[in-house]
């Protein structure tokens, strides 16, 4: 993995995530050089100086792109403007990742600016981007945002529903390349801001919930109204925490016919936040660092105190769901993933005894992309996932049967 921030796993992973989203390395270097200098001067990533420097630099790059976009539009260069809008959206997504405080109001402002740039960028940058369309899914009295990317083929096609992890939303699923690669292979896809992610998190106040089948079936019901979708060929693909959601949804929804779980854990890593088990009282944890991390998770889970947070985290084990999966399953892991170790993926495949085709793909440094969700070099994993769905659903590249 690129060691732009010497010895710092998490900032380097975010950098790789952004490069994988198509941001030119020059944009990133311009945006993060001051943050790099903060770390080299001895401040840790947890210091307020580090995210402040990242925010200053990345906002400056986004503002620079804003001026360039305006100049392109004034000259009628809509394709160039669209390309820069997508760059701007990815830069702002990166800024959102570096802003680790969910209580910071700038996180919402940054998300909204990125989403607006992404929508406009898709519309202006021409095919294939302009073929993707935002729509909404009715769910328990509210509307969830989703992005539909059609297959590059005529007639009803399979569809894959993407479920997000902790730090991903619609844009990541598109930028990382899954949606475009599936489309080339004759498969449509939906990237969804479900509870706990994206606009559902920021605008609807919907937190994580351990019944992903609820919003997944709502998505299935809505998308299968379309005449270009084959209701008998529905798959799910979840990344990171979304990999857990994908396993749960597949075990609980008979209409799902194939599942990819990408760098999943076997359950939420509660021990990272509560090293000594369930807290004896609901108050703050022992150290400011531990309490700061728990505070962010309380926001994400909608927990009122640390005891409730601990209890909520227990609801995300896949132990009772994996044996119930009775459709083809692919679990993808990075060999050296420190967040969700490959052993979790191995255990899931071993326990998927009801699946007629349970496969494990472990990617090591020999081919590149051996970390979490393979974001340090995602192309191999993206191709493998897309090819696997192609095989399961009997489509061919470019939609040729």
- Does one domain contain both 225 and 351? yes
Structure tokens at 262: 């990408």
List pLDDT tens digits, range 8-31.
Answer: 999 999 999 999 999 999 999 999
Q: Among residues of the chain, what percentage have pLDDT more than 70? A: 99
Which of 124, 148, 179 corresponds to the end of one domain?
124
Q: Region 87-115: what's the mean pLDDT?
A: 94
User: 71 and 164: one domain?
Assistant: no
For residues 337 and 387, what is the distance between their CA atoms, to the nearest angstrom?
23
Q: What digits encode the pLDDT tens for the residues 141-193?
A: 999 999 999 999 988 999 999 999 988 899 998 999 999 999 999 999 999 99
> pLDDT band at residue 399, thresholds of 50, 70 and 90?
very low
- Number of helices and strands (H, E) in the chain? 14, 8
β-bridge mates for residue 134, sequence order: 147
Q: Token digits for 216?
A: 């997944």
Separation of alpha carbons 92 and 102, rounded Å: 15
**Which tens digits make up the pLDDT trace of 345-359?**
999 999 999 999 999
E strand or H helix at 297: helix 288-301
Q: Are residues 73 and 221 in the same domain?
A: no
Q: Is residue 20 part of a domain?
A: yes
Q: Residue 16 sits in which domain range?
A: 9-124
Residue 375, CB-side half-sphere exposure with 13 Å CA sphere:
28
Q: Closest Cα partner for 87 from 19, 22, 37?
A: 22
In tens, the pLDDT along 244-254 reads 999 999 999 99
Does 166 share its domain with 73?
Answer: no
Same domain for 244 and 322?
Answer: yes
22 part of a folded domain: yes
CA dihedral sign of residues 9, 11, 15, 21: positive
Count of domains forming the chain: 2
Q: CA-to-CA distance for 325 and 254, rounded, in angstroms?
A: 9
Residues 213 and 337 in one domain: yes
Give the length of the chain: 401
- In this prediction the pTM is 0.95
User: Does 263 share its domain with 371?
Assistant: yes
Indicate whether 70 and 184 sit together in one domain. Answer: no
The helix (run of H) or strand (run of E) holding residue 53 is: helix 49-74
Per-residue pLDDT averaged across 192-203, rounded?
96
Strand (E) or helix (H) holding 142? strand 142-149
Same domain (yes/no): 114, 149: no
Mark whether 207 and 223 lie in a shared domain: yes
User: Is residue 178 a part of any domain in this protein?
Assistant: yes
- pLDDT of residue 114 exceeding 50: yes
Q: CB of 152 within 8 A of CB of 184?
A: yes
Last residue of a domain, one of 97, 124, 151: 124
Q: 332 lies in a domain?
A: yes
Residues 17 and 54 in one domain: yes
Q: Taking a C-beta distance cutoff of 8 angstroms, is the pair 345, 333 a contact?
A: yes
Domain membership of residue 311 (yes or no) is no
140 and 216 assigned to the same domain: yes
Q: Is pLDDT above 70 for 198? A: yes
Residue with tokens 């004896």: 280
CA 210 from centre of chain: 17
Note the pLDDT of residue 337: 97
- Give yes or no for residue 401 having a pLDDT over 50: no
Domain boundary among 124, 155, 183: 124
């Amino acid at each position: 993995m690129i060691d732009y921030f010497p010895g710092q796993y998490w900032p380097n992973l975010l950098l790789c995530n952004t490069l994988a989203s198509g941001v030119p390395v020059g944009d990133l270097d311009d945006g993060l050089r001051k943050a790099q200098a903060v770390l080299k001067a001895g401040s840790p990533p947890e210091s307020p100086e580090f995210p402040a420097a990242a925010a200053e630099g990345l906002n400056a790059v986004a503002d620079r792109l804003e001026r360039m976009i305006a100049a392109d539009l004034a000259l009628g260069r809509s394709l160039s403007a669209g390309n820069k809008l997508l760059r701007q959206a990815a830069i702002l997504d990166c800024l959102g990742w570096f802003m680790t405080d969910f209580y910071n109001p700038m996180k919402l402002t940054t998300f909204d600016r990125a989403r607006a740039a992404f929508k406009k960028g898709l519309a202006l940058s021409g095919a294939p981007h302009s073929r993707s369309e935002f729509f909404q899914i009715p769910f328990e009295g509210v509307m969830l945002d989703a992005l539909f990317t059609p297959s590059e083929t005529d007639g009803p096609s399979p569809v894959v529903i993407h479920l997000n992890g902790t730090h991903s939303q619609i844009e990541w699923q598109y930028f990382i390349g899954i949606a475009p690669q599936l489309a080339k292979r004759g498969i449509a896809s939906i990237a969804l801001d479900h509870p706990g992610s994206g606009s559902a998190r920021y605008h609807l106040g919907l937190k994580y919930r351990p019944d992903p089948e609820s919003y997944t079936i709502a998505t299935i019901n809505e998308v299968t109204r379309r005449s270009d979708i084959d209701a008998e060929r529905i798959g799910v693909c979840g990344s990171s925490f979304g990999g857990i959601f994908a396993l749960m949804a597949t075990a609980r929804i008979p209409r799902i016919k194939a599942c990819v779980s990408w760098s999943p854990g076997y359950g939420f890593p509660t021990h990272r936040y509560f090293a000594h088990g369930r807290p004896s009282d609901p108050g703050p944890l022992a150290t400011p660092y531990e309490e700061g991390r728990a505070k962010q998770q309380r926001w994400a889970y909608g927990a009122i105190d640390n005891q409730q947070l601990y209890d909520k985290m227990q609801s995300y084990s896949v132990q009772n769901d994996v044996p119930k999966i009775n459709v083809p399953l692919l679990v993808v892991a990075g060999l050296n993933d420190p967040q969700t170790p490959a052993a979790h993926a191995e255990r899931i495949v071993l326990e998927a005894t009801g699946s007629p085709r349970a496969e494990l793909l472990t990617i090591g440094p020999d081919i590149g992309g051996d970390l979490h969700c393979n974001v340090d070099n995602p192309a191999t994993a993206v191709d493998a996932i897309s090819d696997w769905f192609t095989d399961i659903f009997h489509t061919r590249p470019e939609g040729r049967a």
